[in-house]
Amino acid sequence: MPFSNSYARLPERFYAKLPPTPVAAPRLIKWNEGLARELGLAMLDVEVLAGNRVAEGSEPLAMAYAGHQFGNFVPQLGDGRAILLGEVVDAHGIRRDIHLKGSGPTPFSRRGDGRAALGPVLREYIVAEAMAALGIPTTRALAAVATGEMVWRETPLPGAVLARVASSHVRVGTFQYFAARADVEGLRALAEYVIARHYGDAAQAPNPYRALLDRVIAAQAALVAKWMGVGFIHGVMNTDNMSIAGETIDYGPCAFMDTYHPETVFSSIDEMGRYAYANQPRMAHWNLVRLAEALLPILGADEEAARAQAQAAIDAYPALFQAQMELVFRAKLGMRQARDGDMALVQDLLDRMAAEKADFTLTFRGLSDGALPPVFGEWAAGWRARLAEEGATPQDRREAMRAVNPAFIARNHRVEEALAAANENDFAPFETLLSVLSKPYDDQPEYAAYRDAPRPEQVVLRTFCGT
Ligand code: AMP
Ligand code: MG
């Protein structure tokens, strides 16, 4: 593998260097050929993907980070069941991390076993690839390997390792790790690293660290708006699960909504609904405030100046997010120009959808195709009048809407069905689902059943992180 490692060049306190822990009987479940091509990678040996052998040039390490988990600060989390194998430069010249999840204990494991069960590994594989196909920034799944070992959760479950690709694994919590230790040099080194790797133009700004903060805030505002546009609920938006590069990361009890309701929560551990669908924009803001706080020691000449910089950056978020939401939802309704009242029209639709318990995805896809339930008739009259003002042909509008309103999302009942079969060693439903979700905007009439909302007995109300 053509490794070119940069994180391993950072000071030793940024990580623990150690190899993955070998597993008993690795067996390849899935290899992502398309992604491998993008990365310029030949098929990797299953021994490497399982962590049984360290490839030449790999400098495996577990990254150190901290994080706020459901609002409580934990000064040391870190990769407790993951290893960064190294980095490769992809076909577009972009540096990407190759990382294993479920690869055994590390100095950051605390009481965990360092392992992952097959179900959560395949869930992450499916949802990450579905998000990528939807055009939403995300970490990717390169491979899944069964370990031939059992992991012990509530019951014994088959174990697996996920090979994941990310623009980087630097998190808001990585900055918090150094801030919590008053390690200003570490903080500065991390900021310089992130600027060089992700936000090169920030280096030219009068205050590069302020520019870095601005860029991360803008990236998160855009990302969360995209989640909102497809009804995605991350489920565990802790600061350790928020990527500095602006990618969706750490798929746990995540889910796409079927029936629209703003307060929808699936995660079994989110008892207060902290990370409910409609709370996500607010929680992203909260997390970004934590990032701004962590950066305070390097944001200004003195504390007062630093606070002013942080505050100004943070105060920009609501308008940035609102602008991204407007972009997303205007496009969903086929509106090309921005007009006053557009978001009131969107909100009116969403309110009706909530009242009617409408399926989020089917409603917007239906609107694209000019099919909508009669209860929306009154709303539709206003929408049609609004569209008429723009003068686009119905054909143009239809095409534009179909390109942003998916027919297929990773519906919970389909994901659960695929995972249940995989646990019985039948990977056919997993393969079919992956294939359908790779073309979410195509009609794929032969897979029409995958568009459908769950029947009442298929509805999944709770999802689990499986750690
Ligand atoms: P997550 O909920 O996956 O974002 O993980 C939060 C923290 O718990 C991270 O530091 C993980 O590395 C750690 N963790 C989660 N599951 C395990 C496990 N099975 N063994 C060791 N550490 C774990
Ligand atoms: Mg995590």
- Rounded average pLDDT over 259-275: 95
**C-alpha to C-alpha distance for 57 and 36, rounded to whole angstroms:** 18
- Rounded average pLDDT over 15-32: 98
Partner residues linked to 304 by β-bridges: none
- Rounded average pLDDT over 343-347: 97
Which atom of ligand 1 lies at the shortest distance from residue 241's CA?
Answer: 4
**Is the beta carbon of 69 within 6 A of some atom in ligand 1?**
no
Q: Is 263:360 a contact under the CB 8 Å cutoff?
A: no
Report residue 358: phi and psi, to 5°.
Answer: -80, 150
Integer CA distances (angstroms), 306 to 292, 295, 436, in order: 9, 9, 49
pLDDT in the model for residue 428: 98
Q: Which of 97, 214, 240, 359 is catalytic?
A: 240
**Is the beta carbon of 109 within 6 A of some atom in ligand 1?**
yes
Integer CA distances (angstroms), 283 to 257, 272, 289, 290, 312, in order: 18, 13, 10, 11, 18
**C-alpha to C-alpha distance for 242 and 284, rounded to whole angstroms:** 8
Q: What is the DSSP letter of 248?
A: B
User: Is 90 exceeded by the pLDDT of residue 376?
Assistant: no
pLDDT in the model for residue 467: 73
Task: State how far Cα 174 lies from the chain centre.
Answer: 17
Which atom of ligand 1 lies at the shortest distance from residue 467's CA?
Answer: 16
For the chain, domain boundaries: 7-172
**C-alpha to C-alpha distance for 307 and 290, rounded to whole angstroms:** 13
User: Is 90 exceeded by the pLDDT of residue 327?
Assistant: yes
Q: Write the pLDDT tens digit of every residue in 92-131.
A: 999 999 999 999 999 999 999 999 999 999 999 999 999 9
**C-alpha to C-alpha distance for 143 and 269, rounded to whole angstroms:** 27
**Is the beta carbon of 114 within 6 A of some atom in ligand 1?**
yes
Q: Write the pLDDT tens digit of every residue in 59-96.
A: 999 999 999 999 999 999 999 999 999 999 999 999 99
Secondary-structure percent of the chain, ordered helix, strand, coil, rounded to 5: 45, 15, 40
Confidence of residue 407 (pLDDT cuts 50, 70, 90): very high
Which atom of ligand 1 lies at the shortest distance from residue 80's CA?
Answer: 12
Closest CA to 104 of 95, 96, 113: 113
User: Which residues sit with Cβ closer than 5 angstroms to ligand 2, an ion?
Assistant: 241, 250
pLDDT in the model for residue 461: 87
Partner residues linked to 102 by β-bridges: none
User: Is 90 exceeded by the pLDDT of residue 370?
Assistant: no
Q: Write the pLDDT tens digit of every residue in 294-325.
A: 999 999 999 999 999 999 999 999 999 999 99
pLDDT in the model for residue 391: 86
**Is the beta carbon of 99 within 6 A of some atom in ligand 1?**
no
Q: Is 402:332 a contact under the CB 8 Å cutoff?
A: no
Q: Is 299:310 a contact under the CB 8 Å cutoff?
A: yes
Distance 79 CA to ligand 1 centre (A): 7
pLDDT in the model for residue 281: 98
Terminal Cα-to-Cα distance of the chain (whole angstroms): 30
Q: Write the pLDDT tens digit of every residue in 26-61.
A: 999 999 999 999 999 999 999 999 999 999 999 999
**C-alpha to C-alpha distance for 170 and 215, rounded to whole angstroms:** 14
Confidence of residue 429 (pLDDT cuts 50, 70, 90): very high
The rounded mean pLDDT for the chain is: 97
Q: How many of the other CB atoms lie within 10 Å of CB of 456?
A: 6
**Is the beta carbon of 81 within 6 A of some atom in ligand 1?**
yes
**C-alpha to C-alpha distance for 235 and 268, rounded to whole angstroms:** 9
| Protein residue with least CA distance to atom 23, ligand 1 | 80
What is the share, in percent, of the chain residues with pLDDT greater than 70? Answer: 100
Distance 176 CA to ligand 1 centre (A): 17
Burial of 56 (0-12, 13-18, 19+ CB in 10 A): exposed
Please confirm, yes or no, whether 250 is among the known catalytic residues. no
**Is the beta carbon of 465 within 6 A of some atom in ligand 1?**
yes
Ligand 1 pocket test: pick from 65, 81, 118, 251 the residue with the most ligand atoms within 8 Å of its Cβ: 81
- Rounded average pLDDT over 241-254: 97
The pair of structure tokens assigned to 317 is: 């978020």
pLDDT in the model for residue 362: 97
Q: Write the pLDDT tens digit of every residue in 141-187.
A: 999 999 999 999 999 999 999 999 999 999 999 999 999 999 999 99
Helix axes 118-134, 428-437, angle to 10 degrees: 20
Residue carrying the six token digits 């409580």: 72
For residue 86, the SS3 value is strand
| Protein residue with least CA distance to atom 16, ligand 1 | 467
pTM of the model: 0.98
Report residue 68: phi and psi, to 5°.
Answer: -90, 115
| Protein residue with least CA distance to atom 11, ligand 1 | 80
| Protein residue with least CA distance to atom 12, ligand 1 | 80
